[in-house]
Structure 1
Amino acid sequence: MTSDDKDTITFTEVDEIDYPTATYVYSKALVQSTYLPQDKKKGNITGRVDVIHPSSKPQPWSLSTLSNLLVDVFLPAGYPHSVSDDYVWYQIFDSLQAFSSSIAGLLSSRAVLQGVGVGNAEASPTAALLLHILQDSSGRIATILFAHRVGTALEPECKMYRLAADVFNDAAMILDCLSPMISAGVSRVTVLSIAGVLRALCGVAGGSSKASLSAHFSRWGNLAEVNAKDSSQETIISLIGMLVGSFVVSNVTSYTATWILLVMLLTMHLSLNYAAVRSVQMTSLNRQRANIVFSTLLGSDPGLNLKYATLSQYGPLGSKQNIATKTQDQWQVPTPAQVANQEKIFETDGILKWSSSVPSPRQYKLGYCRIGVSLEQFLAPSSSPQRGSGSFGTLLPMPRLSSLFESEDYILFLHPNGQIWDARILLKTSSTTQSQLKAWLHALLTAQVLCTSTETIQEQSDRTNIEFMMDTISRTLVFLNDGARTDQYMSALTQAGWDINVAALETRSGRRIACNH
């Protein structure tokens, strides 16, 4: 309210979560005597402001005040509304694992100091320095090679690499504790260098995956603050761990007691890390989560008749019921929380799995899929390249494939590999995150249809198999495009809480093609 005909204006001040912190009441200065003498002298006072604080404001030095102070210091502003629902459980487990890791780290550091000769008059400071340089150099080289090898996969598989980072770290601690028992020389240097390499791998995998998890947790564009508060939490937990660890290393000195305690701490460390990553409910669809979500969705679609997959190549895939008359209420779309309970932390890269809840919950392998491959990789299973020549032959009907996928942003073909299928997906330069999801959905559905027909085509010629394959790919594509079914699938995924605008299917640097017909 700003009109001049109002004698009183009330302003309510709120914090980040719209909680009222104070109320300001402005009133016109009708009685000058209500003001202080020094204010009268100014001669320009037009109004009076009364400040009213909430009656529920905690008293100074109360327990509520201390609790609010800790929340302000160690948690992001606006908590719990500024972060995702799974943030608190992850941070609890992550803090506990950091505590156990701090104590275990002190034990391993003591072992390293013993190994380099601390307390031994014959030990050379120069030798210890050279060993440190060797460890540091090998770790830096490992960092470069590891980042080059798995850099693209760190974000899609952040949960796996977050746990893998602590596996690397714990393995390094074990090697450190073994080093005093190894004879001095090349053997001990090798062991300590391997430990340095493992720590370097831990740094790359842990730092990158934690950055992806922080981006998942942040809800108000507060990624920097989430990272900063996470560092504050780790700092205080590590400080407490060092204080407790100082008491531990002072009293646990025997060989047997040290190893028993170390194994207990490392077991607790990995268990808490596993619980932490299991509590995370990612909303992006990587390969494993896409398998679970798409197979559940396809299996619940009343318009899909997979029983016809065993018929001839002319058998239908969709029912005769018009898609406009179907109801999406019959579709089962797992939420991120439900999928988090089903997914594995370590899963085979690129595997195609079909999740079924009838008659009992289970998953079975259909084959493997690679997305974003080069054209050479796409043609490799059925091509006969001539060494030293710029051309080679192929059995794939590329003109038919290009024509079939002319309106799509990808090209799909599957090659038989025993009882399973090897799917390859070419992505066009026009591909988007949603078209990549459609390509994976198409590959999963086609592999499911083909797996029920494997016995029928195994003994046929290559040309007959290709004809059958082309027909199956065509029928599945028609099914996905019927009545904009795929668009309705994507809409259902969004309503279930999935972010279909995040690209998480490619775990290697991909290629794109441009088709000129």
Structure 2
Amino acid sequence: MIELEETTGSTVRRFGERPGRQQTRLSSASVLAAARDIFLPAGYPRSVSADYVAYQTWDSIQAFVSGISFLIANRAVLAALGVGDAAASSTGALLLKIVQEAVGRMATVAFAWRWGSVLEQDCKTYRFAADVVLTGAIACDCISPSVAGGSTLAVVFCLSAVLKAVCTVMAQGSRAALSLHFTDPEHGSISDVAAKDASQETVVSLAGLLAGSAVVPHLTTARTTWTTLAALSVVHLAANYRAVRAVTLRTLNRQRAALVFSHATDPAGPAPPLLVAPADAAAREVVLERDGRLRWRGRPIGHAALGSFAAVEALRAPDVGLAELVDICGSAGFLLWYAGRPGAVDVRIALTEPTVAHAELRAWAAALFVARLEAIGDAGGDAASDAEKGRGGARKTRTVRAALAAVDALFADGVVARLAAAGWVVDRPMIAPTAAPRVRVIGR
């Protein structure tokens, strides 16, 4: 009789055999089973997404390398604090560390307050940016021994603390979002995925520290130290970049929504529609993308932001009244206006109440189509007058109306259902900030 593991079908235990034979068969399998239970989520592989292994492999490589870098940085910090120097003051070193810790904790609170609500939307960007910032913090630690004591050293230590605080907030927030992505909604547990990720990183980082203990004693000059640190930083960032590139997110944030809508239709004329699947979008995503940048099939054509009505009002043309703006957008679920030149359009959006189904997706598609129509109008030699091409509202009104009509046609054609069938999560878009205000039109 054998006992099978439910998800993989592998043998867990055999019954009814001679003790010696059973022990021999279990000895090799028990080690692998124990390692799987300790480091992989329960129910693996059914409990996680298909991109889990690729991400964790590259993430483990970067964790191993960063463990060695941390050891080099810690040695530099100890030297800067006066370890081994009989003239150094332990009290002065303690006060310096207190100042560093205080600055770091205040930076943690400030950054989490300002950016915490957007980490999930662009988790791949912030996961990579976290290690870029961490590389800067390690560099600050390593230059500290060559800095004169006193206030200059305190500034370097505080800068390192701020960078580490920013890295911590970005890394923790983006990791939480990635854990949610990796967890299978039916068979997985997000807490288990997050816990096993921490276990994997702990063991790999420990291995990095052990490897670093063999490397650091040989770094006896500044040249060898910085050369080794530079090489480790390159490997660290390259592995982290490959890790986030391996992730295939199914939620529609600003960049992925623009990528999908730019291939789904063309408001400037007939074009064969192409439905971009999550895997295709992951291959085309830009990891370090400017927030809100609008790209038409890879080419930058403008920028958009979704927020308060004050930003929309600031761009509204003088000859377009507020009532006319509301009439133009109708019951779309948002208000929109833009400024700038073709190819570098700046679009501002404000959501309205009552809410409209898929208002965030419709708003971002409208912003993209406005920028597209502006770019095509300029390239095709629009016959509009010079006055209209300035801040005149007549041409912009036509452009906004045409963009809204293209959005209505696209959504009436069932693009939401087709996106869902392609694997996209359409009921939880990540376009607007978590606390985005909404405008209520009174007396309409």
Report if TM-score (shorter chain) is over 0.5.
yes
Aligned equivalents of 2:125, 2:418: Cα separation in 1: 27
For 1:320-372, what per-residue CA distance to the aligned partner results, in whole angstroms no more than 9, with x for missing partners? xxxxxxxxxx63111111111111111122111100xxxxxxx222211111x
Q: 1:186 to 1:58 in 2, by over 3 A?
A: same
Q: 1:13 to 1:430 in 2, by over 3 A?
A: farther
Aligned equivalents of 1:474, 1:459: Cα separation in 2: 20
Q: In structure 1, which of residues 280, 283, 291 is the aligned counterpart of residue 250 of structure 2?
A: 283
What is the CA distance between 1:266 and its match in structure 2?
Answer: 1.3
CA-atom RMSD, angstroms? 2.8
What is the CA distance between 1:166 and its match in structure 2?
Answer: 0.8
Report the counterpart of residue 439 of structure 2 in structure 1. 513
Q: In structure 2, which of residues 222, 226, 229 is the aligned counterpart of residue 255 of structure 1?
A: 222
Structure 2 residue 334 is the aligned partner of structure 1 residue 410: yes
Matched-pair identity in %: 35
The answer on whether the counterparts of 2:258 and 2:295 sit within 8 Å (CA) in structure 1 is: yes
The answer on whether the counterparts of 1:433 and 1:503 sit within 8 Å (CA) in structure 2 is: no
Aligned equivalents of 2:261, 2:148: Cα separation in 1: 56
What is the CA distance between 1:200 and its match in structure 2?
Answer: 0.8
Q: 1:277 to 1:133 in 2, by over 3 A?
A: same
What is the CA distance between 1:467 and its match in structure 2?
Answer: 2.4
For 1:40-98, what per-residue CA distance to the aligned partner results, in whole angstroms no more than 9, with x for missing partners? xxxxxxxxxx999xxxx996444343222211110001111111111101100001110
Structure 2 residue 319 is the aligned partner of structure 1 residue 369: no
Report the counterpart of residue 402 of structure 2 in structure 1. 475
Letter in 2 for 1:270: L
Q: Output aligned runs, 1:3-42, within 5 Å.
A: 16-17=6-7, 19=9
What is the CA distance between 1:133 and its match in structure 2?
Answer: 0.4
Q: Output aligned runs, 1:216-227, within 5 Å.
A: 216-219=181-184, 220-227=187-194
Q: 1:449 to 1:418 in 2, by over 3 A?
A: closer
Structure 2 residue 429 is the aligned partner of structure 1 residue 503: yes
Report the counterpart of residue 36 of structure 1 in structure 2. none
Report the counterpart of residue 423 of structure 1 in structure 2. 347
The answer on whether the counterparts of 1:150 and 1:507 sit within 8 Å (CA) in structure 2 is: no
The answer on whether the counterparts of 2:309 and 2:349 sit within 8 Å (CA) in structure 1 is: no
Instruction: Give the structure, 1 or 2, with the largest relative contact order (CA under 8 Å, sep 6 or more).
Output: 2
Report the counterpart of residue 286 of structure 2 in structure 1. 344
Residues 199-208 or 234-243, more deviating: 234-243
Q: Output aligned runs, 1:145-164, within 5 Å.
A: 145-164=110-129
What is the CA distance between 1:515 and its match in structure 2?
Answer: 1.4
Q: 1:464 to 1:342 in 2, by over 3 A?
A: closer
For 1:89-112, what per-residue CA distance to the aligned partner results, in whole angstroms no more than 9, with x for missing partners? 110000111001001101110111
What is the CA distance between 1:480 and its match in structure 2?
Answer: 3.2
Tell me, which stretches of 5 or more residues in structure 2 are unaligned?
none
Local SS of the residue matching 1:285: strand
Report the counterpart of residue 353 of structure 1 in structure 2. 295
The answer on whether the counterparts of 1:278 and 1:340 sit within 8 Å (CA) in structure 2 is: yes
Residues 397-406 or 346-355, more deviating: 397-406
Aligned equivalents of 1:443, 1:435: Cα separation in 2: 12
What is the CA distance between 1:396 and its match in structure 2?
Answer: 2.6
Q: In structure 2, which of residues 377, 381, 392 is the aligned counterpart of residue 453 of structure 1?
A: 377
Max Rg structure: 1
Report the counterpart of residue 268 of structure 1 in structure 2. 235
What is the CA distance between 1:17 and its match in structure 2?
Answer: 2.6
The answer on whether the counterparts of 1:58 and 1:65 sit within 8 Å (CA) in structure 2 is: no
Question: Normalized per residue, which structure has more helix?
Answer: 2
The answer on whether the counterparts of 2:49 and 2:183 sit within 8 Å (CA) in structure 1 is: yes
Q: Output aligned runs, 1:78-477, within 5 Å.
A: 78-219=43-184, 220-299=187-266, 306-307=268-269, 331-355=273-297, 363-371=298-306, 373-382=307-316, 394-417=318-341, 419-431=343-355, 434-454=358-378, 455-456=381-382, 457=384, 459-461=386-388, 465-477=392-404
